[in-house]
């Protein structure tokens, strides 16, 4: 379900929206400046961005980008490759054993289709990536999508609707091409 978030009459100023975005930009800039070999510092910076402790099974190769950071939840043994973008206004939940290739985009918000409303607010809905999913390089997952356990999203795919468990989905828009046994 997509939620509409208003931007009328400075609503974001009062809600701290702009401050959260500015904070996330500052924190990801610092995280992205850390050397790849300093895994503990990367995990610590990620924990500060998300407000959630990450264990030693979490692996991130910077750079990474986020518009809030505080709406991201990760399971165990998650791998996020370089150049990924996690826009988490609507929330992003990533299950255990998930792998994300380079340049993956998880976009949990957008703007209303109606021309009169586009500059007055945003739409947002959570993204849920279930256990043992592999998202290929350059793929994009849009707001409100759930990707089922054990599925693979092919490189460059754009996922606009839910993907069932244990399938390969490819293309634009992504479509299921076969089951994974």
Q: How far apart are CA 4 and CA 170, in angstroms?
A: 29
State whether the Cα torsion 161-97-108-15 is positive or negative: positive
* Residue 111 falls in the annotated catalytic set: yes
Q: Which CA distances in Å does 162 have to 51, 130, 157, 158, 167?
A: 28, 11, 13, 11, 12
By residue count, the chain amounts to 181
Q: Which CA distances in Å does 28 have to 34, 49, 101, 131, 169?
A: 10, 7, 19, 26, 30
Does the N-terminal peptide bond of residue 173 adopt cis geometry, omega within 30 degrees of 0? Answer: yes
Q: Catalytic residue among 23, 85, 111, 175, which?
A: 111
> Which residue reads 């609707």 in tokens?
161
Q: How far apart are CA 23 and CA 20, in angstroms?
A: 5
Q: Which are the catalytic amino acids?
A: 111
């Amino acid at each position: 379900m997509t939620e509409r978030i208003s931007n009328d009459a400075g609503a974001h100023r009062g809600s701290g929206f702009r401050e959260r975005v500015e904070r996330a930009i500052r924190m990801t800039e610092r995280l992205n400046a850390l050397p790849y070999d300093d895994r503990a510092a990367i995990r610590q910076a990620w924990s500060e961005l998300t407000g959630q402790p990450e264990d030693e099974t979490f692996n991130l190769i910077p750079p990474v980008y986020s518009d809030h950071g505080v709406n991201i939840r990760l399971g165990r043994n998650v791998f996020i490759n370089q150049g990924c973008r996690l826009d988490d206004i609507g929330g992003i939940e990533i299950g255990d054993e998930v792998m994300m290739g380079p340049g993956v985009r998880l976009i949990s918000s957008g703007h209303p289709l109606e021309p009169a409303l586009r500059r007055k607010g945003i739409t947002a809905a959570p993204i849920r990536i279930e256990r043992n999913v592999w998202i290929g390089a350059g793929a994009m997952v849009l707001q409100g999508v759930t990707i089922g356990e054990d599925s693979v999203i092919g490189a460059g795919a754009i996922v606009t609707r839910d993907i069932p468990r244990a399938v390969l989905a490819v293309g634009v828009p992504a479509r299921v091409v076969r089951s994974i046994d």
